[in-house]
Structure 1
Amino acid sequence: MKTIKVEEIMKVLLDSWSLESSSKWSKDNPAKGQCGVTALVVNDILGGEIRKTKLPDGWHFYNFINKKRYDFTDSQFLENITYNDLLSNREEAFADTNAEQYYYLKQKVSTALFS
């Protein structure tokens, strides 16, 4: 099994995010609206936990792997995030996306990492 580095996943995510993975995506802000779907796909690949923090626009999801926080979509925000690191789950993160967006991003990321 190939060992995946966090930096490698970040690059693949940037190349994979699109309107197909979030209706809020834009060229100027590719991470916009990608938190739930990204947390799910990263969880599929690297395991760990899905965590959440309450922000003015709603819940923000990210990953917690080997006792470390990884927020692959924090670039969507202008302000710094004060993290609550509340334990979440796949069901809550999935409520932030839909099956089409999830399967699209999972396929794009998996193909880029494992092909």
Structure 2
Amino acid sequence: MTPWNLLDLDRALRASWAADTCSPDDQPDWMLDNPAWGHCDITALVINDVLGGDLMVGEVHLDGVQHGFHWWNRLPSGVELDVTREQFMSGQVVTAARVVKRPPGPLRRWDQYLLLRERVIEYLGHLPEPAV
């Protein structure tokens, strides 16, 4: 197995984001020039598979109105890693951050998570088994 680094994981995720892995709620606004849009939840899960740690979630607000939730990771070291934060190009603010337990078993977007994960595996090679 060829070793890889965090930059390799980041590149693999970015190469794997597409309209078919975007959250259905966000698909109408997904564009190639903002590929992270609608991918925070399943991206955080793949990173959690690889690096462990905690899942973080916060509320997304624009002009004082909540527009859903945003997911990212807190690594075992305590460092927070958010590789999809760049999706917020319109002044959205993420508030009310909290740690959440990874849900057991198949998730709401299980098929899209598995598709993203498979694309990352194609890019990098073997990944740890999903934490289900």
TM-score (norm 2): 0.73
Per the alignment, residue 91 of structure 1 pairs with: 103
Between 83-92 and 29-38, report the one with greater CA deviation: 83-92
Give the direction of change, closer, same or farther, for the CA distance of 1:85–1:3 in structure 2 (3 Å limit): farther
Q: Which runs of 5+ in 1 are unaligned?
A: none
1:44 shift after superposition? 0.8
Q: Distance in 2 between matches of 1:81 and 1:67?
A: 22
Per the alignment, residue 108 of structure 1 pairs with: 119
Instruction: Compare the two structures and name the one with the higher helix fraction.
Output: 1
**What is the number of residues matched between the two proteins?**
112
Per the alignment, residue 60 of structure 1 pairs with: 70
**SS of residue in 1 equivalent to 2:21:** coil
**SS of residue in 2 equivalent to 1:59:** strand
Q: Residue type of the partner of 1:40?
A: L
Q: Residue type of the partner of 2:18?
A: S
Across the aligned residues of Structure 1 and Structure 2, the Cα RMSD in angstroms comes to 2.3
Q: Residue type of the partner of 2:34?
A: N
Per the alignment, residue 43 of structure 1 pairs with: 48
Identity over the aligned pairs, expressed in percent? Answer: 29
Give the direction of change, closer, same or farther, for the CA distance of 1:32–1:82 in structure 2 (3 Å limit): closer
| Structure number, greater radius of gyration | 2
TM-score (norm 1): 0.83
1:26 shift after superposition? 1.8
**SS of residue in 1 equivalent to 2:59:** strand
> Can you list the C-alpha shifts for 1:58-108, whole angstroms capped at 9, x where unaligned?
11100111210111101100237455431013229x44xx12101100111
Q: Distance in 2 between matches of 1:85 and 1:27?
A: 28
